[in-house]
């Protein structure tokens, strides 16, 4: 995708006229109009460990051309669900997963309300466990085996999996962890991201920048920008140490990396002399200790300067991309953020996208 300008997005979507959402259930489009209405759609996705989620609120008239029976013909829990959003006939996928839960409410009026909760493939991964009695496979081999599990293939159309750092690609002994828990633990140790809510499974180092960037401007749909700079959880140094199986002490240290953007020029001075020490008895080498120190520091530093933006709906906005916020009137609220969470929302106010991330 590269860098995409706000103007090109506006032109692509006819300046955001006639927002549209299409929901596919088991390969069939759920019809809307003439008695079945999509009252609200919310798709929340992130680079974090929680499954991506789509929450769909429908209303079906009891006596109409398309009634309750037609609506319920699409509600099969466990089937594949796909959500596309955009404008007029220009739609793009914003979610791919399965129907996790269906709820119907009849308040004894002329309609029935339906709430559909859909999860991406991570939800299925919670239903399978890994059990290896020996440490005959390294972490990358186990990861490939998990991602190639047959029941996941319909939800992962493409995979982009980066190699692990050598210190974490060791033979493993696993005792009954779910696929989901095992990948989450591996991601946390190595400071990797794992997300796949649109059919593309990505496993890579966290907060990678320099790839896809979308420019967001007020004249092309940017509605609100909020920036927060905080010293909460910040520290000047992180130390991690422990004793390995040979009873050797291993240790590693990471310094505060600093921050970009406004309001932070005095923070490094304030944090001098501050440090946090953590004990981790699962470490075997100094390289692992140093990696864990960097992981812990990076997570803290990532919470230092945060930004949130509300804009007209843009399907291309997804976790793992960068958003360049151009705010000519307030320089401190301009800059590039690494997008960690995206919410696509349609309701009575139209189609909007809310992004949250860390300033880069």
Per-residue pLDDT of 277-300, as tens digits, reads 999 988 889 988 998 999 999 999
Contacts of 150 (CB under 8 A, 6+ apart): none
Average pLDDT over residues 336-344: 96
In this predicted structure, the answer to whether residue 131 has a pLDDT above a threshold of 80 is: no
**Residue 158 class from Cβ within 10 Å (0-12 exposed, 13-18 middle, 19+ buried)?**
exposed
Mean pLDDT of the chain: 93
Average pLDDT over residues 321-337: 92
Average pLDDT over residues 308-328: 94
Q: Tell me how far CA of residue 223 lies from CA of 15, 181, 216, 217, in angstroms.
A: 14, 38, 10, 9
- C-alpha angle 339/316/322, rounded to 5°? 30
pLDDT of residue 83: 98
Could you read off the pLDDT of 220-242 as tens digits, one per residue?
999 999 999 999 999 999 999 99
Q: Tell me how far CA of residue 43 lies from CA of 25, 84, 160, 294, 345, in angstroms.
A: 15, 10, 22, 32, 7
pLDDT of residue 111: 96
In this predicted structure, the answer to whether residue 133 has a pLDDT above a threshold of 80 is: no
**8 Å CB contact between 343 and 353:** yes
pLDDT of residue 354: 98
Average pLDDT over residues 151-168: 92
Average pLDDT over residues 46-59: 95
pLDDT of residue 210: 75
Q: How confident is the model at residue 251 (pLDDT cuts 50, 70, 90)?
A: very high
In this predicted structure, the answer to whether residue 135 has a pLDDT above a threshold of 80 is: no
Q: How confident is the model at residue 329 (pLDDT cuts 50, 70, 90)?
A: confident
**8 Å CB contact between 76 and 21:** no
């Amino acid at each position: 995708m590269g860098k995409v300008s706000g103007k090109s997005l506006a032109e692509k979507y006819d300046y955001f006229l006639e927002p549209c959402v299409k929901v596919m259930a088991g390969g069939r489009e759920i019809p809307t109009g003439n008695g079945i209405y999509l009252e609200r759609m919310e798709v929340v996705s992130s680079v974090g460990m929680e499954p991506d989620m789509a929450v769909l609120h429908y209303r079906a008239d009891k006596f109409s051309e398309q009634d309750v029976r037609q609506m319920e013909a699409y509600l099969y829990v466990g089937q594949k669900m796909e959500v596309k959003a955009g404008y007029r006939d220009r739609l793009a996928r914003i979610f791919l997963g399965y129907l996790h839960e269906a709820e119907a409410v009849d308040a004894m009026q002329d309609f029935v309300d339906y709430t559909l909760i859909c999860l991406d493939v991570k939800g299925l991964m919670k239903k399978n466990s890994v059990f290896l009695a020996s440490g005959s496979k390294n972490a990358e081999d186990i990861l490939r085996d998990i991602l190639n599990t047959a029941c996941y293939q319909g939800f992962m159309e493409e995979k982009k999996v980066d190699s692990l750092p050598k210190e974490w690609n060791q033979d493993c002994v696993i005792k009954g962890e779910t696929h989901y828990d095992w990948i989450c633990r591996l991601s946390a140790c190595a400071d990797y991201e794992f997300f796949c809510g649109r059919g593309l499974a990505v496993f890579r180092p966290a907060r990678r920048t320099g790839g896809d960037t979308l420019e967001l401007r007020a004249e092309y749909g940017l509605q609100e920008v909020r920036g927060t700079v905080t010293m909460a959880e910040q520290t000047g140094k992180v130390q991690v140490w422990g004793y390995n199986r040979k009873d050797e002490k291993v240790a590693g240290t990471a310094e505060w990396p600093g921050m970009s953007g406004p309001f932070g020029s005095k923070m490094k001075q304030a944090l001098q002399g501050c440090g946090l020490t953590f004990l981790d008895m699962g470490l075997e080498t100094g390289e692992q200790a140093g990696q864990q120190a960097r992981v812990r520091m990076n997570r803290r530093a990532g919470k230092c300067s945060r930004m949130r933006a509300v804009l007209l709906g843009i399907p291309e906005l997804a976790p793992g991309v960068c958003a360049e916020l151009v705010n000519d009137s307030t320089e401190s609220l301009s800059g590039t953020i690494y997008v960690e969470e995206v919410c696509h929302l349609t309701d009575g106010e139209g189609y909007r996208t809310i992004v949250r991330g860390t300033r880069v």
